[in-house]
Amino acid sequence: MLLIDFVVVAALFQYFVFSIFVGRARSRYGVKAPATTGNEIFERYYRVQMNTLELLVIFLPSIYLAAKYWSPAWIAPVGAVYLVGRVVYFRSYIKEPASRSLGFGLSALPMLVLLTASLVGLVATVLK
């Protein structure tokens, strides 16, 4: 489970870093709290942070559940793909929001794999 814990800590750290970028963008583009609109570039940073938060709600429990039923050595790399996907999403969304598809896919597909692995493992355990 150490590999899973490492991926989870990396995901939380990644979210923290994205939050720092939002704070810096807020200052750089003069968007005073509590406003979340007012500058398009700031709004891009903010949307990346919020989208990442929305996905963490699914990612965190699903990686732990999948690792409960399957080998963590197989599940951790799936989580690593999610992390890479978030970086790709971040970079592409900030540059041009319409180019975010690859990053979103690299985030969404691992979550689907983790959710499916969790469900299959759960059903297999119940049917034993």
Q: For tokens 């985030």, what's the residue?
A: 107
The pTM assigned to this predicted structure is 0.95
Spatial separation of the C-alpha atoms in residues 4 and 75, rounded to whole Å: 7
User: What are the structure tokens assigned to 104, written together?
Assistant: 């979103």
Q: How many helices (H) and strands (E) does the chain have?
A: 4, 0
Residue 70: per-residue pLDDT: 98
Residue 16: per-residue pLDDT: 98
The three-class DSSP label of residue 111 is helix
Residue 123: per-residue pLDDT: 98
Among 123, 11, 120, smallest CA distance to 76 is for 11
The three-class DSSP label of residue 39 is coil
Residue 100: per-residue pLDDT: 97
The CATH number that domain 2-121 falls under is 1.20.120.550
User: What are the structure tokens assigned to 93, written together?
Assistant: 């969304």
Residue 115: per-residue pLDDT: 98
Tens-binned pLDDT, residue by residue, of the chain (128 aa): 999 999 999 999 999 999 999 999 999 999 999 999 999 999 999 999 999 999 999 999 999 999 999 999 999 999 999 999 999 999 999 999 999 999 999 999 999 999 999 999 999 999 99
Instruction: Indicate the domain borders of the chain.
Output: 2-121
Residue 88: per-residue pLDDT: 98
How many other CB atoms are found less than 10 A from the CB of residue 61? Answer: 13
